[in-house]
Amino acid sequence: MARKKPGQAAGSLVNVAVLAAIRSPLTYLVPNSLEVRPGQRVHVPLGTRRATGIVLEPVSRVAPGFKVREILGVVDPEPLLSPELLTLGLWMAEYYVAPVGEVFRAMLPLRSETRRVRFLILTDRGRQELRDLESSLLEEIRGGAEAKFLRYLADQSGTSAGATLEGIRRKSSRIATELVTHAVAEGWVAVSEQERDRGQRKVFSVRLAGPLPEHPPRLSPVARRILEALDQRGPVVDHRELLKAARGDLSHLKKLQAGGLLELGESRDFSDRTPQDKKESVELTSAQTSVLGDLTALLASRQFHAVLLHGITASGKTEIYLRLIARCLEQGRAALMLVPEISLTPSVQSQFLAWFGSQVAVLHSGLSETERHEAWWRARRGEAKVVLGTRSAVFAPLADLGVVIVDEEHDSSYKQEETPRYHGRDGAVVRARLAQALVVLGSATPSLESYWNARTGKYLLLKLEERIGGRSLAAVEIVDMRQEFRETHTQVPISRRLKQEIEAQLQSGAQTMILLNRRGYSWFLLCRSCGETHRCVNCSISLTYHRREHKLICHYCGYTAGVPSQCASCGSEHLHYVGEGTEKLEAKLTELFPAARVARLDRDVAQRAGQYRKILTDFRQRKIDMLVGTQLISKGHDFPGVTLVGVVSADQGLGMPDFRAAERTFQLLTQVAGRAGRGDSPGRVLVQTFYPEHYAIRLAADQNYEGFYSKELRFRRMMHYPPCAALANLIAQGTKLEQAAKVAGEIGRFLERVQRTSPGLKVLGPSAAPLARIEGRFRIQFLLKASSRASLNDILRRLADHCEDKGIPPPAVMIDMDPVSIM
């Protein structure tokens, strides 16, 4: 009870989001000795342990019978999160029905600005012991480990609070932990804990001093890698990133600086030295100028506006973003730009650095904990005014935000597929509204949701309908693979038509991209005697054969298995590899075109350090004739030499049991077609398909977005799918099927009751999820459809409460509001 008992200190009550899987905030008492503010991090007792939490708001009372405990202490002197970010976090927890602590955990850097340091202090008893030891007649005692240790502490005590444990270990490895423990037990030494600021390590910006000399002096491999990286990527603001890639250290940079090959600078003053002419050197087309003018006016209003920028591929959206951000900085406000999978788009990063220098902080999941921590704090301290990042950067602690840009807003990587299951794009819109900022969603293939919002007047629609430089869109030709089979009687990945086109490309020295959206060598291993396929032990899917590793790999959980020489169930040796992935296609193309330089780009390649960038650079520099890859090659790259794009199987995604299958196929085909003809020569695209009349394929071939939108929207309306209805995916899961079924039964009964009072609610299921088992968990699915998001959200929260009451643990029920995938 909050009622003051006699003798209890008069403290105030606050709600705290404890960083744990707890659905709601907990109320704590603020002791008189402490002062806490909303957004501040605190230590609180939780059960028998000590936890960290974020102070939310003061409360006047607690539920009867609730025993309030005291806050133990504050972590940071200042609030970490602004009122704006607190509101965003609470909105996310509520809207996505996610534990509030999990949301705030996702928002924060993992480490605190200060760190705990343990000091050892020599006590009076320790001093006495030292004197005794030193007066000993025996040399072994006077010079022994104990005496040395105590003397070391005695020497330190004059200067600071004492010696740190780390310092002692560094001083002498012979001073073992047991000795410290012994000294503490004897009372010679006291341990004290203090918070210390994390030392800020110096960060240098690095750039080439000039063009690389024709005949460079003799260089070490590290030095060569450093120079090559700078040459390819342009200047960097953080030298450590460069060194990590080049596997070198600061001394390499200093040596190159002394040799006059590169310049090191304080990151702080870097932007001032960025040549202005480099920035605005590209002249905007009149269409770009007009869009930029509209956006600048909206920015100047200092009010919330949401804009959908529908610009066809290569229409120059990035040039507009950069200028808009520059205008925003001129007004003294900060800017945020979200991109899908940033580590995979080095070109955007270097453009940002060229424009905004050290004012940029980059936030993405590929960073180390220290890097993320530092980038976060640079934004928090106001040193970085521009944040470029992936979906979690929507939480970047920028003050006075003027513009939020979401590039390629249709990309599914904006959706987090683990708790909290938020959508970065939708979070960005809410963030902008809270900050009274302008939000720009850009895409050549907008999501149905965003286009619907634009059509219904929720967003303002701006268009770019021409490619820059007066280039025309690529001409798309469909190759009917059914006819190919009828005429050749063989099933091959490369049709005669595509082969002929590739040959012509190779003869003229032009480059080609080949898309096959499936990695690995073969899809699965089939026993021809008994029909058995080799499945993952954790998931209900077949394992994919990867030839390079000579392994069978699960693309969901990463489980790997050796390749058997005989069938596990019948012992037959007639094992057959079915289907082809990018790895096999690469081998096949190398075999078909022995003179061509073929490379591959997919997630397997991208995982190898440095490979991704190297392949992109080599391809841009025309050291590669043909690039084979998954959808990774369709994302935002600009290769002027590519005049032919071949799509090996356009049908890959169409068969998926997901209402977005057609939309994804349309987007992928349009995006990959957009890679062709970005240089001076026009581009051509060949799309191989078994379903040439499917509207997603036909309309992508015509690059007719409007046509696709109307057709797809009719289907969504008929079937009650977003954007025409609100949708949630509910999965009951358990490591045993009976567990999952029991939870599903409970959910089913609850939903039946709710349906009686909510006639707008439609429930599909329970049924086995399309992926009935993932990572060892059985999954039973419900799809919930309602006429409004608000009513659906209300039902989901009541369901979560109900599950809590029934003692069902949160991991047993996955709630996915506005799901991007319903597999």
> Min. distance of Cβ 575 from Zn ion in angstroms?
8
Q: Which is nearer to Zn ion, 276 or 565 (CB)?
A: 565
Q: Which stretch binds Zn ion (CB under 5 A): 522-530, 599-607, 737-745, 748-756?
A: 522-530
Q: Which is nearer to Zn ion, 230 or 539 (CB)?
A: 539
- How far is the C-alpha of 445 from the C-alpha of 696, rounded, in Å? 12
**Strand ranges of the sheet holding 438-443, from the earlier edge strand across to the other edge:** 360-363, 386-389, 334-338, 401-406, 438-443, 305-311, 460-464
Phi-psi region of 332 (alpha: psi -120 to 50; beta: other; left: phi over 0): left
Contacts of 331 (CB under 8 A, 6+ apart): 299, 300, 402
Residue 624 corresponds to which tokens in the numbers above? Answer: 């590669």
Question: Which of 756, 738, 752 lies closest to 782, judged by CA?
Answer: 752
> Min. distance of Cβ 576 from Zn ion in angstroms?
10
Residue type at position 287: A
* Strand 575-578, strand 560-562: pairing: unpaired
Q: Which is nearer to Zn ion, 572 or 710 (CB)?
A: 572
Question: Which of 317, 345, 328 lies closest to 441, judged by CA?
Answer: 317
Q: Which is nearer to Zn ion, 312 or 543 (CB)?
A: 543
Enumerate residues 528-557 that contact Zn ion by CB under 5 A. 529-530, 532, 536, 538-539, 554, 556-557
Q: Which is nearer to Zn ion, 361 or 774 (CB)?
A: 774
> Min. distance of Cβ 527 from Zn ion in angstroms?
3
- Binding pattern to Zn ion, positions 479-518, x when CB under 5 A? ----------------------------------------
Q: Which stretch binds Zn ion (CB under 5 A): 83-91, 179-187, 238-246, 563-571?
A: 563-571
> Min. distance of Cβ 565 from Zn ion in angstroms?
12
What is the per-residue DSSP string for 144-203? Answer: SHHHHHHHHHHHHHTTSS-EEHHHHHHH-TTS-HHHHHHHHHTTSEEEEEEEEEPPPPP-
> Min. distance of Cβ 529 from Zn ion in angstroms?
5
Enumerate residues 617-676 that contact Zn ion by CB under 5 A. none
Residue recorded with tokens 């530092």: 374
- 304 touching Zn ion, by CB under 5 A: no
> Min. distance of Cβ 534 from Zn ion in angstroms?
10
Q: Which is nearer to Zn ion, 429 or 774 (CB)?
A: 774
Question: Which of 594, 318, 570 lies closest to 464, judged by CA?
Answer: 318
> Min. distance of Cβ 735 from Zn ion in angstroms?
14
* Strand 511-515, strand 642-647: pairing: parallel
Q: Which is nearer to Zn ion, 387 or 575 (CB)?
A: 575
Q: Which is nearer to Zn ion, 561 or 808 (CB)?
A: 561
Q: Which stretch binds Zn ion (CB under 5 A): 154-162, 234-242, 416-424, 559-567?
A: 559-567
> Min. distance of Cβ 582 from Zn ion in angstroms?
20
> Min. distance of Cβ 530 from Zn ion in angstroms?
3
Per-residue b or e along 384-421, where b marks 16 or more CB atoms closer than 10 Å to that residue's CB: bbbbbbbbbbbbbbbebbbbbbbbbbbbebbbbeebbb
How many residues bind to Zn ion according to rule CB under 5 A?
14
Q: Which is nearer to Zn ion, 350 or 540 (CB)?
A: 540
Q: Which is nearer to Zn ion, 505 or 544 (CB)?
A: 544
Report the run of H or E that residue 208 belongs to, with start and end.
strand 204-208
Q: Among residues 527, 616, 650, 780, which is the contact residue for Zn ion, using CB under 5 A? A: 527
Residue recorded with tokens 């705030």: 104
> Min. distance of Cβ 519 from Zn ion in angstroms?
15
Enumerate residues 329-388 that contact Zn ion by CB under 5 A. none
> Min. distance of Cβ 375 from Zn ion in angstroms?
33
> Min. distance of Cβ 581 from Zn ion in angstroms?
17
> Min. distance of Cβ 776 from Zn ion in angstroms?
8
Q: Which is nearer to Zn ion, 45 or 776 (CB)?
A: 776
- How far is the C-alpha of 610 from the C-alpha of 601, rounded, in Å? 12
Q: Among residues 51, 567, 589, 606, which is the contact residue for Zn ion, using CB under 5 A? A: 567
Q: Which is nearer to Zn ion, 114 or 540 (CB)?
A: 540
Q: Which is nearer to Zn ion, 537 or 609 (CB)?
A: 537
DSSP bridge pairs for 512: 626, 644
Contacts of 357 (CB under 8 A, 6+ apart): 205, 235, 237, 270, 271, 272, 273, 274
Q: What are phi and psi of 340, to 5 degrees?
A: -75, 135
- How far is the C-alpha of 174 from the C-alpha of 708, rounded, in Å? 73
Enumerate residues 768-807 that contact Zn ion by CB under 5 A. none
Residue 268 corresponds to which tokens in the numbers above? Answer: 């702080």
Q: Which is nearer to Zn ion, 554 or 624 (CB)?
A: 554
Q: Which stretch binds Zn ion (CB under 5 A): 266-274, 304-312, 520-528, 650-658?
A: 520-528
> Min. distance of Cβ 532 from Zn ion in angstroms?
4
> Min. distance of Cβ 418 from Zn ion in angstroms?
16
- Binding pattern to Zn ion, positions 569-588, x when CB under 5 A? -x-x----------------
What is the per-residue DSSP string for 394-458? Answer: GG---SSEEEEEETTTT-GGGB-SSSS--BHHHHHHHHHHHHT-EEEEEESS--HHHHHHHHTTS
Q: Which is nearer to Zn ion, 555 or 678 (CB)?
A: 555
Q: Dihedral (C-alpha) 579, 580, 584, 590: value to the nearest 10 degrees?
A: 110
Q: Which is nearer to Zn ion, 556 or 695 (CB)?
A: 556
> Min. distance of Cβ 370 from Zn ion in angstroms?
32
> Min. distance of Cβ 563 from Zn ion in angstroms?
15
Q: Is the dihedral of CA 392, 395, 397, 399 positive or negative?
A: positive
Q: Among residues 352, 521, 559, 782, which is the contact residue for Zn ion, using CB under 5 A? A: 559
> Min. distance of Cβ 821 from Zn ion in angstroms?
16
Strands (E), 444-530: 460-464, 475-480, 511-515, 524-527
- How far is the C-alpha of 707 from the C-alpha of 698, rounded, in Å? 10
Q: Which is nearer to Zn ion, 254 or 576 (CB)?
A: 576
- How far is the C-alpha of 394 from the C-alpha of 280, rounded, in Å? 28
What is the per-residue DSSP string for 58-78? Answer: EES---TT---EE--EESSSS
Q: Is the dihedral of CA 492, 493, 497, 498 positive or negative?
A: negative
Q: Which is nearer to Zn ion, 249 or 573 (CB)?
A: 573
Rounded alpha-carbon distances, angstroms, from residue 813 to 46, 539, 548, 820: 24, 18, 38, 18
- How far is the C-alpha of 356 from the C-alpha of 354, rounded, in Å? 6
Site residues, Zn ion (CB under 5 A)? 527, 529-530, 532, 536, 538-539, 554, 556-557, 559, 567, 570, 572
